Amino acid sequence: MKDGRGKTTLIVEAAHRAQDAGAFDAFVFITAKQNILAPSGIREQTPAARTLDDFLNETARVLGQPGIAKLTSDEKRRALLDTIRATRVLLIYDNLETLSKEEQEAMADFLRELPQGCKAIITSRRRGGEGAVWLRVEKLDWDAARGIIENEMARDAGLATKLRRVESRWQELYDETNGLR
């Protein structure tokens, strides 16, 4: 838990801003995350993807092309690239460290072939892949973390109601995560 740095939160916010700016026609978010932090603690979940093929199949499904999943790996990649060629797509692939080294390399090859106007954001706890821009997410101090919580509450009344009920535990959560999640 302590090595989480808020990568997913950061990319989801970036995607919302890109959507607000009209930068893309389609957004695809796929995660291999195996657990989430819930108010009751860490909860396990079944990830949408565990392998490269899972990421590609789920991408095809989200883009309304489930038949692509029936193709072989190379055919699948080509068909998926052909599908997104006519549109501006932002692919967000979360927690790629779950892929094998070979699958990570194949994913990098796929992403290098993205058509003009398409972009990808990936998160991983491991570094890899040339040509990428790396952003290291560091620990937040308590005042910054509290400010983010309050900002999110101002944006979402339902969330605000829930968070006000547990305000006495905010500092405990911050301490437990060491300001990293």
The answer to whether residue 165 sits within a structural domain is yes
10 or 23, which is more confident? 23
Amino acid 181: pLDDT: 52
Q: Are residues 50 and 85 in the same domain?
A: yes
Taking the C-alpha atoms of residue 46 and residue 34, their distance in angstroms, rounded to an integer, is 6
Q: Are residues 112 and 61 in the same domain?
A: yes
Average pLDDT over residues 1-10: 60
Q: Are residues 35 and 114 in the same domain?
A: yes
For 35, the domain range is 7-122
Does the pLDDT value for residue 124 go beyond 90?
no
Amino acid 61: pLDDT: 95
Opening angle at CA 63, ends 57 and 66, nearest 5: 45
- Here the CATH number for the domain that contains residue 110 is 3.40.50.300
Q: Are residues 112 and 148 in the same domain?
A: no
The answer to whether residue 135 sits within a structural domain is no
Q: What percent of the chain stands above pLDDT 70?
A: 82
Q: Are residues 146 and 118 in the same domain?
A: no
Q: How confident is the model at residue 175 (pLDDT cuts 50, 70, 90)?
A: confident
Three-class DSSP category at 94: strand
Count up the domains in the chain and report the number.
2
Average pLDDT taken over every residue of the chain: 82
The answer to whether residue 130 sits within a structural domain is no
pLDDT digits (tens, 9 = 90+) for 130-155: 544 444 555 677 888 888 888 888 88
Does the pLDDT value for residue 2 go beyond 60?
no
The most confident of 1-10, 94-103, 128-137, 172-181, by mean pLDDT: 94-103
Taking the C-alpha atoms of residue 3 and residue 14, their distance in angstroms, rounded to an integer, is 21
